[in-house]
Amino acid sequence: MQFSKIGFTPKLIICDLDGTLVDSAGDIQHALNAALMEMGLATVTEFEVRGWVGRGASRLVYCVLEAGHHRKDLHDDLLATFMRHYQAAVCDTSQLYDGVAEFIAACQQAHIPLACVTNKPYAPAKDLLAALNILQPFQLLIGGDTLPHKKPHPEPLLHCLRYFGVAAKDTLVLGDSRNDVEAALAAHIPCVAVSYGYNHGEPIEACKPEWIVDSLAELLR
């Protein structure tokens, strides 16, 4: 397996989840709207959700409350209600982006360890990966509630380096947002960003990752 685009073959690949491996915005919107309706609040569009996803469930709920001009003290109740609905239907419409299955299979064939680091809480992240039949390839899963810090803090990435005993220079981070790029930069790990996904309305080019691809399959050529 050759990674000609980046000039080296990594000994560890750390992948983001939502917006990088999986397009999950539809299921997130559905759960949010179910929670909002249960609480008598205005619903949100999938377009809005795509601009908010990626910074963890708590931040997502803050964005919903802010956009709807709702009271901030509703946060905890809305978060709990949203998570209840989302955990019950984490993968009704979510699907892998093009090239993801091919990329994961190639990494497995090349015996390159894979880790998934996401700001999504651990339980729904694990269920989503399992529902899409890609949980087994990841030897480590870190959710937004696994460690004291989440991306863009580098700690989740540094934890992966320690867990696998791999140096930063021999590792590759794959992500779709500023959170991923900044975390990788702080951890001194090379980063590939995808051009699709969720980056809070900001072009990924503005985050200045080392490389940008339109599909993870590009890394295999």
Q: Which of the residues 16, 23, 176, 180 is marked catalytic? A: 16
Domain stops at, among 61, 88, 115: 88
Residues 107, 204, single domain; the answer is: yes
**Is residue 76 domain-shared with residue 182, that is, in the same domain?**
no
Mean predicted lDDT score pLDDT of the chain: 95
Residues with Cβ within 8 Å of 139's Cβ and at least 6 positions away in sequence, in order, are 113, 114, 115, 164
User: Pick from 51, 68, 88: which residue ends a domain?
Assistant: 88
Site of tokens 């700001």? 119
Q: Do 31 and 115 share a domain, yes or no?
A: no
* Number of domains forming the structure of the chain: 2
Nearest alpha-carbon partner for 35 in 94, 95, 76? 76
Residues 52-69 have pLDDT tens digits of: 987 888 999 999 999 998
Question: Do the domain assignments include residue 35?
Answer: yes
Same domain for 73 and 154: no
Question: Residue 62's domain is classified under what CATH number?
Answer: 1.10.150.240
Picking from 35, 61, 88, the residue at the C-terminal end of a domain is 88
Residues 138, 116, 24: CA angle, nearest 5 degrees: 110
CB atoms within 10 A of CB 206: 9
Q: What is the mean pLDDT of residues 102-119?
A: 96
The domain of 29 spans 25-88
In the structure encoding, which two tokens stand for residue 162, read together? 């320690």
Cα–Cα distance for residue pair 136/54, rounded to 1 Å: 23
Which tokens is 72 given? 């901030």
Is 16 in the active site? yes
Q: What six digits make up the tokens of 82? A: 């949203």
- 39 lies in a domain? yes
pLDDT at 37: 97
Position 124 in a domain: yes
Give the predicted TM-score (pTM) of the model.
Answer: 0.94
CB atoms within 10 A of CB 7: 9
Same-domain status, 152 and 167: yes
- Going by C-alpha positions, the residue among 74, 71, 7 that lies closest to residue 35 is 74
